[in-house]
Structure 1
Amino acid sequence: MTKEQWGALQGDLCKTVGQNSYATWLEPLTFESADTDGVLRLSAPTSFFCTYVTQNYGDLLLSKVARVNPGIRRIAISAASMRKAPAPKPATVEAPQPVAARKDLPGAPLDARFTFDRFIVGKPNELAHAAAKRVAEGGQVTFNPLFLYGGVGLGKTHLMHAIAWELRERSPELTVLYLSAEQFMYRFVQSLRERKMLDFKEMFRSV
């Protein structure tokens, strides 16, 4: 398996899982190496990414890769930040940062393409766009929470990312967290197992 072969698979993966899921979970994966023992090694931004992608997309990735290179029998995904060698000045080591401004609030990364100025407004989504813009301006709104519902490809994910980007730009001191339902449930179950429900509640109340 080569880096070029991995790159050629991206279009197929995007079609299989959909643009939103691909951009969130599979596009951030980076090809590292393919060992002679049949292991394809990929890196992900965070350890949570590793766990989530392995559990939810591991079998799909392996089947797609095996079609291109039957010699690959296993996929190993590791966190890029964990794989870095210790540096004399740890504070200067750059790693992909999640949307949350605080270290204890890791979430899904924001897509830089999903901003308001790149959103295409049409009849099906003009109301949602106006409501999202109002939320992003900050301050009190008559609708709280903002609930977006609609068909595939109308821009729900785009608007959520756009709100987060706008809020971060307008008020850098705010704690903004972008999180999928799956990630929320993962953290909830993890907190139950570790008996840390108070910490779980406080984390989300601090947003």
Structure 2
Amino acid sequence: MTEDTSHHHPEPTGQTPPLSIDQLTAGWERVRDRLRTDLGDNAWRHWIKNLQFIEKAGASIILGAESKLATSRVSGQYTDRLRANFKLEWPEVDNVEIRHVHRTATMPPKPAQASGQPASSVRARAMDDFEDFGGRLDPRMTFDNFVVEKPNEFAHAVALKTAMSENPQFNPLFLYGGVGLGKTHLMHAIATHIRENFAHRRVIYMTAEAFMHHFVKAIRHQDTMQFKERFRSVDVLMVDDVQFIGGKDSTQEEFFHTFNALVNDNKQIIISADKSPTDLKGVEERLRSRLNWGMVANINPTTFELRLGIIESRNEAEGIGLSHQVMEFLAHKITSNVRELEGALNRIVANKMINGDPITIDSVRVILADVLRASNRQVSMGEIKREVARHYNIRLEEMHSKRRSRNIVLPRQVAMFLAKNLTSNSYPEIGQHFGGRDHTTVMHAVNKVESMMNEDATMAEDIAMLRSLLHASNQP
């Protein structure tokens, strides 16, 4: 009998068929997920999350990093783990190479957006509009490196929800807080997230002063119609430091009409200021009322835990080499705001790069002598107690008394909270300044005030005002 060969498959050639883009993308995602479990969230966010899969060339994997620091760090510390994880996907892999590339080099390509245009062209158009008319984003200000603690967790949560929603959830979103507490960081993080995940949406981010500048320029050139069209055709309008339009009647009038037009068209508005809408000076009542329409989120002054978290995050991300004792020292000593703390860290890093000396508490005292002198001048335990007693209209001696009526206990707790956040005293040391109270009493007071600040905007504003008064009264 003759063998029927009509249904036989061709002999294998020994060559592996090339992987599709979908297969490469899925494999890379599985590698990333496993590394997140292996490395932990912090290291994964800083070094793995933003790597770009460029190509698989035979037994080699080419990945891209967006900075020279990331290229160096990943090449030096993580290529072995990357190679081991890639081998689980494709056993032939024996090499992983990290290259320094720009964001646009990302491979495999993302699918086209709903508009039908390629993702790259949509993103380029949105970026062009953003750079031409709005302010530039700081790539360092993202949600990934925003350190979250009790003073800012609510503001962070609503900012993230707003950024992740293609349709407005809170309109407007109004973020407010003192200087250097993270308002601008959250604004940039929202804009960056929208641009990267909803590239077809047109975003304009600018300061209130820039808005006023463009408006005045449009009037001067008799081009107000183009100004109106430009602002009213965006999907997301973000205005930072809106308090600066206080007293500028014409600018407020135009902003009022722009606000109404965008809200009526279901477009997102995000605003920041140093005060709540109700307390903005020189701003018309009708505009303040509209700013209160949506979600108002306060960013409270920093706590010791938040400052320590910020220092720890940068220390790990940049490999600064700070000991825990040095980090605690900085968190205790630099209490005014995040911006000053970041500046102090920058000086320490620069000094280490130039001199190469180890970073100790003694060397930090020398590097930051002027900052620490100012910090030491800022506040004392006695000044805290006097200012709080004056604010709540109680006698100073009540701070040390055994009385437990609410009108005495609350001011005492507030003073303990401020002492913990504005001085370097430990819990037991603070207790000694308040009638020899136990350290657990001080801890309870600090936690109680933090909780009240998160739940009660009036309490948060009282604490912010007391801090401002204490800082102002101790300036040289």
Larger Rg: 2
